Structure 1
Amino acid sequence: MATDALPASAAARTVRVDRGTAIQVFVAVTTLALVLFPILPVLYQAVLDKPLYDAGASLSLTNFTRLFDTPQFGDIVINTAYFAVLTTVIAQGIGVVTAVLVGRTDLPGRAFFGEMLLWPLFLSHLVIAFGWFTMYGPSGYVTLFVSGLTGSEPWSLYTVTGMGIAAGAAQAPLAYLYCIVATRNADPNLEDAARTVGASPLRILTTITLPLMRPAIIFGAIMNFVIAIEMLSIPLVFGGPLQIELFTTYLYHEVFGQATPDYGLVAAAAVGMLVLVIGLMVLQGRLMRNNQRFVTVGGKAARPRRFALGRWRWVAFGVLLAYVVLAIVLVLGGLILRSFTVILSPLMPLWDVLTFDNYKMLGAYPVYMRSIWNTIAIATIGAAIGTGLIALIAIVANRSEFRWRRQLEHLAVLPRAIPGFIAGIGIFYAMGLFPPLGWLRNTIWLLVVAYIMRYLPTGYGAVSPALAQLGSDLDRSARTVGADWWRTSRSIVLPLIMPALFSCYALLFIHFLKEYVTAVFLYAPGSEVIGTTMLQFWKNGDNGAVSALASVQILITVVFVGLARKILGVKIYG
């Protein structure tokens, strides 16, 4: 037969691809496409003189020239820089102080404060912005109450400083989260040595404890600065009415405030923002490169001794309680209360304005209910798909001999440097650049793809450490009995990291539930989500409906976090 005569050299050239290699290549190609999907269209549009779908478009750098020639460009840069710096300073100041008080002192009610300080992390900035507007805006309940006592307006959030204060309070939990771990992991031997030579608690705190927290403080500061730069909700809610432009609101108004958006100008601005964020991420990596010199916990480390506050114990308790009440309880509680009233004002008795009309309106219109169900579906299904993909990426990058496994790991964390705003713009452009993807348009599946790309680093950060804790002898034992890489990964590795996968799912669910910035550019009739519907209500001045929808999101979050802790055993965010 002809096959019997096949030359030996030809048989030698036959390439066999086992299923393990096929899966690894598939995971790498999928991740590459997912990450580059929003970036390449933005870069391409930025150097075209016409929209990328225009056949007559040609390469040009005029978009960048026009961007720098924009009359308000200088003010936008100054406002954005001031807002980001102020937000970071306030967030880090509150985060470091609260982390030290809760993590290292004998403060009463530490468990209560530790729980309350983290809750804003579960909610979107949009919900928090509306909460601040409801209580501390020009017609806010607290503002009117204080005005009635003093006879003058006590503050204004309609300034860059006001926005920075609100954003700083919203971002303080992130700084607290990074710092609380550092305070609890400090080696007590260094502090005990200082005590033996007569150092006071304050001196130990300032010369030993805080310096050892430097990596966490630096990491949190850069992350908060980046988040402030890409924040949309607070600048839009408080800066929009007075036309105070930041970088994100400028992009937003260029897209949605024009009859025909200037796609080239928007893309050039997005590229500038992307370069800035990537630069900050690189700076963060360089600053954290030598963090081993701050390592103090070894195999014999003991639990650090708490600082005694003495007569300041209850003073610190009162100050921290006041912060929790003013910045968290009133903001969220007032928003929920507003959803049950026609108007929330200290000038009118509460029982005279109570109503369920805001919730009845949500149930009366299918589009509003659809936004709720779409959000739940995206969070539930999208988190599951994302967790599956992240699990595959993690085992390929950490438990295989794949040639490009290190590059795959770097690719998985790259979206951390891609702001949600740019991800949304990029995928919006991609729909015009790649017509075969048109079937995704106007569906929730486009949002699922965008969200998974956006939060790949978040999920990967939950799974990768768990894999690092598994010894390689498990893999070798499976190989000795004939199991290939995929069988070993499926039967041994994945079951052992199931708790980490549950944590990954919980984190993705919460982030998908509260995400709105990316969806702003991608939703269409039929694919609305809670965040985009809240923005539409706010544009129409319907604050009661905004509060009702925000309260629904808070309720979903509370229920999910409770179930995740009880059923899955997930300890979300610390």
Structure 2
Amino acid sequence: MVRSASVPSSWPLALLVGAVGLLVLVPIGLLLYQSLLTAPFFSPAKRFALEAYRFVLHDPYFFEALRNSFLIGLGMVLIAVPLGSLFAFLVTKTDLPFARLFELLLLAPIFISAIILGIGFIVAFGPSGVVSGWVEALLGRVPWTIYTLPAIAVIAGLTHVPYVYLYVASTIQNVDASLEEAARVAGARPYRVALSVTLPLVRPALIYSAILMLLLGFELFGLPLVLGDAKGIMVITTYLYRLTAITGTSAYHLMAAVSVLIVAIALTLVLLQRYLVGRMEGRYVAIGARGYRTERLPLGRLRYFWVLVLAVYLLVAVVFPVLGVVFRSLVTSWGPGVDLREVFTLGHYVEVFKLPNLSRAVTNTLWVAAFGGVLALVFYLLIALGIQRGAGLGRVLDYLAGLPRAVPGLVMGLAFLWVFLFFKPLAPWRNTLFALILAYTAVWMPYGVRLLTAALLQVGREVEEAARIAGASPVRAFLQGTLPLLRSGILTAWFLLFIQFVREYSTGIYLLTAGTEVLGAQIVALWGTGAVDVIAALATLQVLIVSGVFLVANRLGVRPQGL
């Protein structure tokens, strides 16, 4: 009798579980081990103690950073969730003009590194910013500052609206349209339909998005670094990044303790998110005329008012910051009274491609995103298959693959640095791009596995079962039966992983060495030197790469998925 294709042999699945466990648990375990020592793990003087936790938990700077992270996360919840939900309803359910264009533009901040958006806000809205100059000429003063904690929270909230938009929009599109049509026939206006019908049905997505914003607030690094670091505003991630400077000593055990505390906070939020959403499953399901489609709700005379609202949001959150970065890369200096004809230059780009470390950052980024994306994709596909077909071991694999969601990229990069230092056979790989690819694969595992799991769920296994009955081996049946049907899903996943690998910056910070430079980590390294001109050129190149790939992917019908 032929074994069913849905019941894989146990030993390959066990090997896969072991490989994922090593990739995920070893770095986290090493962080925990180092946090319990009094000195670096390679020091002969090390001993077990809770000294690191005692220091951190008695350090007022730590609690100040923790409070700031919470306040930024709360600000993100209060700004991103209402705006993202509103925009999702307007774009998917109403007769909003230019809805397709808005849908495309609303996704832009997801694919631009937070540190680049932060630099863009400085160039556009800072004290000498382009937009600030226009406002000062008009009003005589600039009525805002971007270098305060509330300003960072507002900017973080605005730049994270697309994350909420994605989750809520996908949920709204699955709401039974006949319910909204019934409310409309009963005379309800669009805002009444949204509040009384749509909003209650998408409440799980709203809860999910709110906790996601709080989680991302604790993981936020790029924006607080460029907007708050110079003013002494620390969050939990910049506290970790600056810990050696704060203590004045080699702070391996302190960094490990802070990392473990960050992971504990993030894991608590992830578990809370799963618990709350799990409780709501089945309670917010509309059973009715499936496949029913209704006309879009008319906005009437308010149609162009909402167009204006969306346009203003996109100008402030996306267009001005991105154009600000591009503009700064093309001038030698900027300020009041500067003549653009005198300061225009392409010299910053010449410098990028002349200096070896900067030119390598461009080529390495493309290589890691393209080749590393393929390797990660193959690994994620195996994990997705194991989760779908592995019964008990599949559930273990599912939890292991989702665990990196609770580990910020900055922490995972630090953990992998220590993995290469701790395990001597891996030391030669420390100064290669393999280290980056391995860390990126771990960080983006939950995202990539979710993409491919969704693709597998859309493909039946009848062809594969038929091939197995005809005598084909399990591998051949999958390669010739199921894999061709997954081509579209795999292409989508690769495009999205390519973009995420290009824009990633925090994971590579601690893994940055001569020869392994990538754009994101190199920008962070240069930020401390004040080389804004070169940073703007590198940031513009990253934006151009991401934009080009995103436009090609969009033409091929690739739709971004939530993170």
TM over 0.5: yes
Q: Check 1:453–1:39 CA distance in 2 against 1; reply closer, same or farther (3 A cut).
A: same
Does the 8 Å CA contact 2:14/2:393 hold for their aligned counterparts? no
In the alignment, what sits opposite 2:3?
Answer: none
Write the distance in 1 (CA, Å) between the matches of 2:390 and 2:262.
36
Asked whether 1:433 is paired with 2:433, we answer: no
Q: Deviations over 1:504-548 (max 9, x none)?
A: 111211111011101111111111111122123322222111111
Write the distance in 1 (CA, Å) between the matches of 2:133 and 2:156.
21
In the alignment, what sits opposite 1:238?
Answer: 227
Deviation at 1:298, TM superposition (A): 5.8
Aligned residues: 555
Structure 2, gaps ≥5 residues long: 1-6
In the alignment, what sits opposite 1:570?
Answer: 558
Write the distance in 1 (CA, Å) between the matches of 2:70 and 2:559.
35
In structure 1, what residue type is equivalent to 2:560? I
SS at match of 2:160: helix
Write the distance in 1 (CA, Å) between the matches of 2:145 and 2:554.
39
Alignment match of 1:61 (pick from 50, 63, 74)? 50
Write the distance in 2 (CA, Å) between the matches of 1:157 and 1:521.
28
Q: Deviations over 1:276-302 (max 9, x none)?
A: 111101111111112222222667331
Deviation at 1:254, TM superposition (A): 1.0
Does the 8 Å CA contact 1:79/1:246 hold for their aligned counterparts? yes
Deviation at 1:222, TM superposition (A): 1.5
The 5-angstrom pairing of residues 37-436 of structure 1 reads 37-255=26-244, 260-289=249-278, 290-296=280-286, 300-345=290-335, 347-400=337-390, 404-436=393-425
The 5-angstrom pairing of residues 486-525 of structure 1 reads 486-525=475-514
Q: Deviations over 1:415-471 (max 9, x none)?
A: 111111210121122223211110111111100000001111111111112222333
Does the 8 Å CA contact 1:400/1:485 hold for their aligned counterparts? no
In the alignment, what sits opposite 1:15?
Answer: none
In structure 2, what residue type is equivalent to 1:572? P
In structure 2, what residue type is equivalent to 1:460? V
What root-mean-square deviation, in Å, do the aligned CA atoms of Structure 1 and Structure 2 show?
2.0
Write the distance in 2 (CA, Å) between the matches of 1:224 and 1:482.
50
Write the distance in 2 (CA, Å) between the matches of 1:474 and 1:440.
42
Write the distance in 2 (CA, Å) between the matches of 1:521 and 1:487.
42
Q: Check 1:261–1:192 CA distance in 2 against 1; reply closer, same or farther (3 A cut).
A: same
Does the 8 Å CA contact 1:254/1:266 hold for their aligned counterparts? yes
TM-score by length of 1: 0.92
In the alignment, what sits opposite 1:6?
Answer: none
Deviation at 1:343, TM superposition (A): 2.2
In structure 2, what residue type is equivalent to 1:391? L
Deviation at 1:258, TM superposition (A): 6.2
In structure 1, what residue type is equivalent to 2:484? P
Question: Which structure would you say has the larger Rg?
Answer: 1
Does the 8 Å CA contact 2:509/2:525 hold for their aligned counterparts? no
Which ranges of 4 or more aligned residues in structure 1 deviate by more than 4 Å? 18-22, 255-259
Does the 8 Å CA contact 1:184/1:304 hold for their aligned counterparts? no
Write the distance in 1 (CA, Å) between the matches of 2:561 and 2:245.
35
In structure 2, what residue type is equivalent to 1:571? R
Write the distance in 2 (CA, Å) between the matches of 1:357 and 1:245.
34
TM-score by length of 2: 0.94
Write the distance in 1 (CA, Å) between the matches of 2:551 and 2:139.
42
Alignment match of 2:522 (pick from 510, 533, 556)? 533
Structure 1, gaps ≥5 residues long: 1-17
Q: Check 1:543–1:53 CA distance in 2 against 1; reply closer, same or farther (3 A cut).
A: same
The 5-angstrom pairing of residues 471-490 of structure 1 reads 471-490=460-479
Write the distance in 1 (CA, Å) between the matches of 2:514 and 2:247.
20
Deviation at 1:257, TM superposition (A): 6.2
In structure 2, what residue type is equivalent to 1:540? T
SS at match of 1:293: coil
Does the 8 Å CA contact 1:131/1:331 hold for their aligned counterparts? yes
Does the 8 Å CA contact 2:388/2:453 hold for their aligned counterparts? yes
Deviates more, 1:52-61 or 1:63-72: 52-61
